[in-house]
Amino acid sequence: MSIRLGDIAPDFKAETTQGPISFHEWLGDSWGMLFSHPADFTPVCTTELGKTALLKGEFEKKGVKVIAVSVDDLASHNKWVPDIEEVNGVKMNFPIIADSEKVVAGLYDMIHPNASEKATVRSVFIIGPDKKVKLTLTYPASTGRNFQELLRVIDSLQLTAEYSVATPADWKDGDDAIVVPSISTADAILKFPKGVKEVKPYLRYTPQPNK
């Protein structure tokens, strides 16, 4: 069954390149990003894991722990890691789950048989500190993900979790936010002391509340 927004992220135990984990325990009170890739020793995946390692500090600043998964075993992951490090000029600094029994792939519905019977597609699950799934994304094997977009989405998820705002198209951290429709303009003026600009009765902007 597919995982929907608001569902509790399934818990599991797994071997990883940084030792065994129990997923919920590993997440602790942090946000998390679990992402799958089709297979070890493949070109797009090599760039994606390297990019994530390079950006790990950015994820950490946002309180997000990152973890990758594919249906290869631990010996394969461990053989592949030096390639990722060499190609991307980075030390691998986050765990890759070994899921040769397809336990995680099954729990998170990461195998889409009409795309590939055997390999996971490029799924992303962003999980909040309450262990609920806040975002899902699915890319085909042939398209590498944009990790700056994932960081941008996390900014939006974290902002909208704290304040009664939404974020407009192409929003980025620091831009004006949108007052959620359930708040009247009169109440919004009281709630957002930095100001409220009414473009339409249903489209009201306010400066980002946490800046």
Tell the smallest beta-carbon distance from residue 43 to ligand BEZ (Å). Answer: 4
Q: Is 45 a known active-site residue?
A: yes
Record the tokens describing residue 59, joined without a space: 């994820």
Helices (H), 55-108: 56-61, 74-88, 103-107
Task: Report yes or no: 11 and 22 within 8 Å, Cβ to Cβ.
Answer: yes
E strand map for 71-167: 96-98, 122-127, 133-139, 165-166
Among 4, 19, 28, 43, binds ligand BEZ (CB under 6 A): 43
Q: DSSP for 27-43?
A: HTTSEEEEEE-S-SS-H
Q: Phi, psi at residue 193, to the nearest 5°?
A: -65, -15
Q: Which of 45, 66, 84, 97 is catalytic?
A: 45
Task: Report yes or no: 35 and 151 within 8 Å, Cβ to Cβ.
Answer: no
Q: Is 18 in the site for ligand BEZ (CB under 6 A)?
A: no
Q: Which is nearer to ligand BEZ, 140 or 168 (CB)?
A: 140
Among 27, 33, 34, 44, binds ligand BEZ (CB under 6 A): 44
Tell the smallest beta-carbon distance from residue 190 to ligand BEZ (Å). Answer: 51
Tell the smallest beta-carbon distance from residue 115 to ligand BEZ (Å). Answer: 10
- 74-88 and 43-54 helices, crossing angle to 10°: 70
Among 34, 53, 141, 154, binds ligand BEZ (CB under 6 A): 141
Q: Which is nearer to ligand BEZ, 116 or 164 (CB)?
A: 116
Record the tokens describing residue 187, joined without a space: 């109440």
Q: Is 71 in the site for ligand BEZ (CB under 6 A)?
A: no
Site string for ligand BEZ, 168-197 (x = CB under 6 A): ------------------------------
Q: Is 50 in the site for ligand BEZ (CB under 6 A)?
A: no
Helix (H) or strand (E) segment spanning residue 141? none
Candidate ranges 39-47, 68-76, 104-112, 177-185; the one touching ligand BEZ (CB under 6 A) = 39-47
Task: Return residues touching ligand BEZ (CB under 6 A).
Answer: 38, 42-45, 141-142
